[in-house]
A and B are shown apart, each in its own frame.
Chain A
Amino acid sequence: MAKEVIKVANLEKYYQKRHVLHEINFSIHEGEVVTLLGPSGSGKSTLIRCLNGLEPYQKGDVIFNGEKVVPTEKNWQQIRQKIGMVFQSYDLFPNLTVLENILLGPVKVQHQSREEAKVNAERLLAQVGLQDYENVYPRQLSGGQKQRIAIVRALALKPELMLFDEVTASLDPEMVRGVLNIISNLAQDSNMTMIVVTHEMNFAQQIADRVLFLEDGHILEQTKGDQFFKQPQTDRAKAFLESMDF
């Protein structure tokens, strides 16, 4: 059995009095691709953001690489270097060039040598087809290009786990394919462990080893990817899939 990269045990999250995540339990092993599916407002993004400490949680534990995370900002800061995250809004730093965006983490946070980090950055840029964009500023890029750079920026830290939070939700339809292909390649060629929140059902079906289906902050089912799409166990998931029309 591959090693357990991340495990969530009895996690509970509240926004003030509102209970948004209920008794969340799951674990993910090395190389596994898990997609988080569920209707809007079901808590997918909140859950994924708890995994690298961007959202505090009130009960339960996140166990990363076998070690329980003591949720202080300092600890999270260490762990985030090993968990790459890509957001819907890409959020490249507009004050830095593409290359500087990518090098910031490796050089300033991980203290890699600039040369070494640059070689790695250029390799990654080439993989996403943007090798000529090193010295360009983000505002000169299209949405799809920005999101590809954001993925590279996260990968540059050589993470052990990648979190994708609706990364194609704000892209033009024709840009979506390119970004999704990069994520698929990452799963297949690099055997990256990842958790993907998405509304692209075809894509989810194609890459998911396992699906976590959330509603109202509960995990309603955890099913193997192909099985979830063919025979969801719960009626709610069935209704959800039918409504998605893919």
Chain B
Amino acid sequence: MGSWQIIQQSLPLFEKGFVLTLWLSFVGIIGSIIVGLICSLLKYFQVPVLGRLAAIYVEISRNTPLLVQLFFLYYAFPVFGFKLNAEMCGIVGLIFLGGSYMSEGFNGGFDGVSKTQVETGKAIGLSRLQLARYVVFPQGFTLSVPALAANIIFLIKETSIFTVIAIPELTNTALDLIGMYYRSNEYLFMLVIGYAIILIPLSIILTILEKRVRYGTFGN
């Protein structure tokens, strides 16, 4: 069979994997942003107990590989009586990992707001909450956009690790097909194209967004 035929025949399977990768990434990224935002707010406002817990979570999450986290969710959790299907494991794992990265991204933005801005805000009598709402967060969010954008790309690529718990996303599809038909050139080629279709346009969009928030939002 010629390469072209191989590619054509496997197209429907790749399409499925492609859609699944997109879907898992989407849910995982939204979840990561929510978890990350909550953690960074807990840290910013130095909420007792919860702030500490958030910090511990961030350290654990950032300092363990997603692969290990997934094994834990998939193989170890059922032992304790929590059984999740593979896709749920994938999503939970991605959010567990991404939450800490997003949290660090937001924190970086908030920290990036200059100390003098904070002092000026205090000097006009703003409370801690008002200072956050009118000064630190609006500026901090724009400062965190580049980090968040990098995290989004990173998390999409991390979904390829889902293959180890047999979620039929792009990578898993390709590896499966290679295992069955030994046509690695064609399937790997399709795998690369699959990710490129998602990631190249996305990174272009994110770059434009970064430029816009850098130069655009506040005046001009």
| A residues at B contact (CB < 8 Å) | 52, 54, 73, 76-78, 80-81, 83-85, 87, 89, 91, 93-96, 104-105, 108-110, 136-140, 150, 153-154, 157
Residues of chain B at interface, number, CB under 8 A = 23
Q: Residue B139 at the A interface, CB < 8 A? A: yes
Q: Is the CB of B125 within 8 A of A80?
A: yes
Main secondary structure of the interface of B (DSSP, over half): helix
| Interface flag for B181 (CB, 8 Å) | no
Greatest chain A CB density within 10 A among B125, B130, B134, B142 is at: B125
Binding site for A on B (CB under 8 A): 114, 116-117, 119-128, 130, 134-135, 138-139, 142, 217-220
Could you tell me the distance between the alpha carbons of A91 and B122 in the complex, rounded to whole angstroms? Answer: 12
Contacts A91-B120, A93-B135: A139 and B220 contacting too (C-beta < 8 A)? yes
Distance in angstroms between the alpha carbons of A153 and B114 in the assembled complex: 19
Report the separation of the CA atoms of residues A43 and B220 in the bound assembly, to the nearest whole angstrom: 40
When the two chains form their complex, are residues B117 and A93 in contact, meaning their CB atoms are under 8 A apart?
yes
Across the interface, B218 reaches (CB within 8 A) one of A83, A84, A109, A139, namely A139
B130 touches A108 (CB 8 A): yes
| Contact status A157-B220, CB under 8 Å | no
The minimal Cβ–Cβ distance linking B145 to chain A, given in whole angstroms, is: 14
In the complex the two chains form, what is the Cα distance from A104 to B122 in whole Å? 12
A52 touches B219 (CB 8 A): no
Q: How far is it, in angstroms, between the C-alpha of A243 and the C-alpha of B180 when the chains are bound? A: 87
Tell me the minimal C-beta distance from A214 to chain B in angstroms: 21
Given known A-B contacts A89-B116, A91-B117, A80 and B219 have beta carbons under 8 A apart = no
Q: A89-B116, A108-B134, A109-B130 are in contact. Are A95 and B123 (CB under 8 A)?
A: no
Write the chain A residue with the least CB distance to B137. A95
Are the C-beta atoms of B125 and A95 separated by less than 8 Å? no
- Bound-complex Cα distance A139 to B134 (A): 17
Q: Are A54 and B122 in contact (CB under 8 A)?
A: yes
